[in-house]
Structure 1
Amino acid sequence: MRIFEQLESEVRGYVRSFPVMFDTAKGSLLYDEQGNEYIDFFAGAGTLNYGHNNPIISKALLKYIERDGIMHGLDKATVAKRTFLQKFYDTILSPRNLEYKVQFTGPTGTNAVETALKLARMIKRRSNVIAFTNGYHGLTMGSLAVTGNTFYRDESYGIRNNSAFMPFDGYFGPDVDTIEYFRRFLEDASSGVDLPAAVILETVQAEGGINVASNEWLQQLERLCREFDILLIIDDIQVGNGRTGTFFSFERAGITPDMVTLSKSIGGGLPLALLLMRPELDQWQPGEHTGTFRGNNLAFVAAAESLAYWDNDDLAEAVKYKGEIMETELNSIAEKYPELNAKVRGVGMIWGLELPRNGFSSEVSKKAFENGVVIELAGAEDQVVKFLPSLTIDEKMLRQGLAIIDQSIGDLLAHKREMRTGDTQGSTQGGAQDNETLVRFKSA
């Protein structure tokens, strides 16, 4: 690992959490250079909903490369883009009666968010945008302004400009109606919150700790936006593409956002981001918002193939079935270890196990990795173990991975009990021992 320490920036993160040299991957399994196997409950932070090296996607990519298909085309017309757009319309938009124009932005999610914010401000001629507590929308300047976690924010960036935060559903507990709270700020001309051009949110806050907005809350928010002429932007970058059980995460609430940002799994594992907007909002002049990599033709090929999973309801039903397994098993883990005061939250195949004990979630992730599961954390204090397996993971492997998490928690708690017992015995018998001996004992 020396070359990474020598040359790569200190900003690198996941290599520290999972310090092995990964080499190959297939489906829901990762392999390191030594051939050790790891079950992937991370899925590229939601990029690999269809698994690593999905054979359907890989076959199409190889065929496209072998025939010298266009690799880089800016926003020129290409066969690959045409195929994707037609497939996206036929399989996703038309069956849902959604009328959206599609704008291809830069290759990552934050590019789509920046585009949505810029367009909303241009259309409404207002600069303020409302985001929500614990929201995460990316780390470029505009996206960072609507991201809540203070770990990413610094006053020197100037990121507080043109944004304000409101409490997400359940932020104050079940008895506080945060939509009415929001309404009061909009109604009061002295609230200090300017009428926003847009509201942006995730229906399930993934990085924020797996906070799930209720259907009723989302419906009330949509009505509030319509009442005050505010554009509603849904960030479906991580929890869209089928993660919640429907292709769009907002389908369960029956709402229709003005704009939707998509990235991560929309590209079938390759870089692709796009903005969906109601046709009347497409007010750009040609070339007014551009970017060198706004059209990734390889990703168009992969995306068109991955959308075949939505030709019928099979994947949606599988997500529902496996999501119920995850919910049941995680609740069982929470009940099995009552001393942790664990909480389980989620929907579809995104779940969180919140472990309030300081630093314990990080220990669980580390122990799970030692036992063969790659899993990341979420929440402002990394207090939530975040379960994000590929949607195509088979049931046996899913259950195996959950069992490893259970085992890892049990092993950690047993070790802590042994340490406490050892400390107690040491203090009882330590009258005749000097301080140096006690220090050696505790260190061991």
Structure 2
Amino acid sequence: MQNVLNLAPETSLLNDQEIPLVTNLYDLTPDNILLSQEHYESEVRSYPRRLPIAIRTTRGVIVEDTKGQIFLDCLAGAGALPLGYNHSEINQVLIKQLNDGVPYQTLDITTPSKDAFIKAVMNFLPDNFAKNARIQFCGPSGADAVEAAIKLAKLYTKRNTMVAFHGAYHGMTNGALSLTGNLGAKSRRTGLMPDVHFFPFPYSYRCTFGLGGIEGAKQSIRYIESVLCDDESGITKPAAIIVEPIQGESGAIPAPLEWLQELRRITTEQGILLIFDEIQCGVGRSGDHFAFEYAGIEPDILILSKAIGGGMPMSIILYNKELDCWNPGEHTGTFRGNQLAMASGAKTLEIIQRDNLADNAKQRGEQLRAGLTNIQQQFPQIGEVRGRGLMNGVEIIKPGQFNALGHPEADPELATNIQRAALELGLIIEKGGRRGAVLRFLPPLIISETQINFVIDTIEKAMTHAVKL
């Protein structure tokens, strides 16, 4: 089996046509590095169980493992690598930082790199939001920023209740996990943050109200508004409602435009802060700079991580200056001054704007969904194809079988087999959603038309193989 891969620094990543050349199914038996990981690393490890590869080298959307096998990556660090791997311009920025003697981290002491990053972020935001925005640096993970947003909302409103949504994912720390819908992550936990309530998200394919489409979304809004206006609802007035404009881990579920607009109306009228968690769907992935722009609205607090650091650990929150009620040092963290992340993040935002990568995400996403929808015509096991930009999901079901609510029965076993078959054919994808039965696609924003065609062709082959098992 021969794979030819050009990893030269001068490769034009946006127009890169490189795809894996797979002549036989890849060998996924564990090599010594994987066996070593299994021996030493905690049982909490997750990705290697579904994606049993050890990475040797990478560039663009391409990963080469320690066996010399070439993969196209539609995971991209769970969306944390908007420009893919080892982008030459990002590498040069990092090298310059090191050569200039800039410190690795500085707490919240400022530097020219930090000033440049802040200005790059403000330039990337919608103008109206940016003109009154304040930025707060949090710890290195998205969950750190979620915790900061919770504290700020409660501090500003002097209220304690928080509202999240069915299917939400906001992180694994105490407060963030409390706002997360997945019960598996909570099943062995006690003492999570109290006064958290969950409302129905407009998940058309599995609508809480049995309606789907715009009618289901309208009913969701009616339910939310009725609870918040009912003095017998049992829910005290929330400090904030937190929502992902496109739910990620729940299976790439976009909130309808009208639903987001109505949620903004309700929270404004009720004096409740609206927090948008765009840790996964932000920074160009949705086809806009931010997913909330689609609805023509603004949040009170915006949470960013993953892509905002250009692949380096970084998380921030942005909010209207009127909310900036912190006392000095009231919320801190040692690693909120990651200078390498600020340099790579600023350059990443520049490149996304310069190369129109949000538009590329929109076009390539449309191409991907069209191709997957064509495959759906051949396979009734595909219940739904959905997404926005380069954040997409394929829900795998058991045709003709329904659960107690009348929803199509999920098929997590088939989804796992499809994921494995795709990996054997040179394609890395992730799973998520209810019962882990949604195939998820989060490729770098630089992915090309040729590479999307490879993704589509490979999924068709993987479906054919997995359905026969």
Alignment correspondent of 1:430: none
After superposing the two structures, state which structure 1 stretch, 2-11 or 218-227, moved more.
2-11
Which structure is larger by alpha-carbon Rg, 1 or 2? 1
Deviation at 1:394, TM superposition (A): 1.5
Q: Distance in 2 between matches of 1:202 and 1:341?
A: 24
Structure 2 vs 1, CA of residues 248 and 322 (structure 1 numbering), >3 Å: closer, same or farther? same
- Cα deviation, 1:243-297, whole Å, max 9, x if unaligned, reads 1011111000011100000000000000000000110101111111000101110
Q: Distance in 1 between matches of 2:455 and 2:382?
A: 22
Is residue 93–residue 100 contact of structure 1 (8 Å, CA) maintained in 2?
no
- Cα deviation, 1:104-134, whole Å, max 9, x if unaligned, reads 0000000000000011011111110000000
Alignment correspondent of 1:241: 283
Q: Secondary structure at the match of 2:125?
A: helix
**Matching residue within 344, 350, 353 for 2:394:** 353
Is residue 70–residue 78 contact of structure 1 (8 Å, CA) maintained in 2?
no
Deviation at 1:3, TM superposition (A): 2.1
1:362 aligns with 2:416: yes
Matches within 5 A, 1:275-354: 275-312=317-354, 314-338=356-380, 340-354=381-395
Is residue 106–residue 293 contact of structure 1 (8 Å, CA) maintained in 2?
yes
1:389 aligns with 2:443: yes
Matches within 5 A, 1:195-206: 195-206=237-248
Q: How many residues align?
A: 414
Identity of aligned residues (%): 37
After superposing the two structures, state which structure 1 stretch, 393-402 or 102-111, moved more.
393-402
Q: Secondary structure at the match of 2:335?
A: coil
After superposing the two structures, state which structure 1 stretch, 178-187 or 225-234, moved more.
178-187
Q: CA RMSD in A?
A: 1.5
- Cα deviation, 1:401-433, whole Å, max 9, x if unaligned, reads 2211110101122x33xxxxxxxxxxxxxxxxx
Q: Distance in 2 between matches of 1:128 and 1:95?
A: 29
Structure 2 vs 1, CA of residues 326 and 209 (structure 1 numbering), >3 Å: closer, same or farther? same
Is residue 186–residue 193 contact of structure 1 (8 Å, CA) maintained in 2?
yes
Is residue 358–residue 445 contact of structure 2 (8 Å, CA) maintained in 1?
no
Matches within 5 A, 1:94-113: 94=127, 98-113=131-146
Q: Distance in 2 between matches of 1:187 and 1:91?
A: 36
Is residue 91–residue 310 contact of structure 1 (8 Å, CA) maintained in 2?
no
- Cα deviation, 1:25-66, whole Å, max 9, x if unaligned, reads 100001111221000010110101111111111111011112
1:47 aligns with 2:47: no
Structure 2 vs 1, CA of residues 412 and 311 (structure 1 numbering), >3 Å: closer, same or farther? closer
Q: Distance in 2 between matches of 1:113 and 1:91?
A: 21
Matches within 5 A, 1:248-259: 248-259=290-301
Q: Distance in 2 between matches of 1:391 and 1:237?
A: 15
Q: Distance in 2 between matches of 1:205 and 1:383?
A: 15
Is residue 175–residue 193 contact of structure 2 (8 Å, CA) maintained in 1?
no
Q: Distance in 2 between matches of 1:96 and 1:284?
A: 20
Q: Secondary structure at the match of 1:111?
A: helix
Alignment correspondent of 2:315: 273
Unpaired runs of 5+ residues, structure 2, are: 1-33, 399-410
Q: Which has the higher helix share?
A: 1
Q: Distance in 1 between matches of 2:298 and 2:351?
A: 23
Amino acid at match of 1:25: T
Q: Secondary structure at the match of 1:20?
A: coil
Unpaired runs of 5+ residues, structure 1, are: 417-444
**Matching residue within 152, 170, 174 for 2:185:** 152
Q: Distance in 2 between matches of 1:93 and 1:99?
A: 11
Q: Distance in 1 between matches of 2:327 and 2:171?
A: 26
Alignment correspondent of 2:4: none
Q: Distance in 1 between matches of 2:308 and 2:430?
A: 21
Deviation at 1:189, TM superposition (A): 1.2
Q: Secondary structure at the match of 1:197?
A: strand
Alignment correspondent of 1:441: none
Alignment correspondent of 1:167: 200
Alignment correspondent of 1:372: 426
Amino acid at match of 1:89: M
Q: Distance in 2 between matches of 1:341 and 1:301?
A: 42
Alignment correspondent of 2:405: none
- Cα deviation, 1:286-324, whole Å, max 9, x if unaligned, reads 111000101110000001101113435722221221111
Matches within 5 A, 1:76-87: 76-87=109-120
Structure 2 vs 1, CA of residues 21 and 155 (structure 1 numbering), >3 Å: closer, same or farther? closer
- Cα deviation, 1:331-370, whole Å, max 9, x if unaligned, reads 01111112x1421111111111100132111111111111
| TM-score relative to the length of structure 2 | 0.86
Q: Distance in 2 between matches of 1:275 and 1:149?
A: 24
**Matching residue within 436, 448, 460 for 1:406:** 460
- Cα deviation, 1:194-230, whole Å, max 9, x if unaligned, reads 1100000001111011111111000000000011100
Alignment correspondent of 1:124: 157
Amino acid at match of 1:166: F
Alignment correspondent of 1:37: 70
Q: Distance in 2 between matches of 1:284 and 1:210?
A: 34
1:3 aligns with 2:36: yes
Q: Secondary structure at the match of 1:293?
A: helix
Structure 2 vs 1, CA of residues 313 and 192 (structure 1 numbering), >3 Å: closer, same or farther? farther
Q: Secondary structure at the match of 1:123?
A: helix
Alignment correspondent of 2:125: 92
Amino acid at match of 2:414: F
Q: Distance in 2 between matches of 1:226 and 1:212?
A: 22
| TM-score relative to the length of structure 1 | 0.90
Is residue 92–residue 310 contact of structure 1 (8 Å, CA) maintained in 2?
no
Q: Distance in 1 between matches of 2:368 and 2:105?
A: 40
Is residue 202–residue 234 contact of structure 1 (8 Å, CA) maintained in 2?
yes
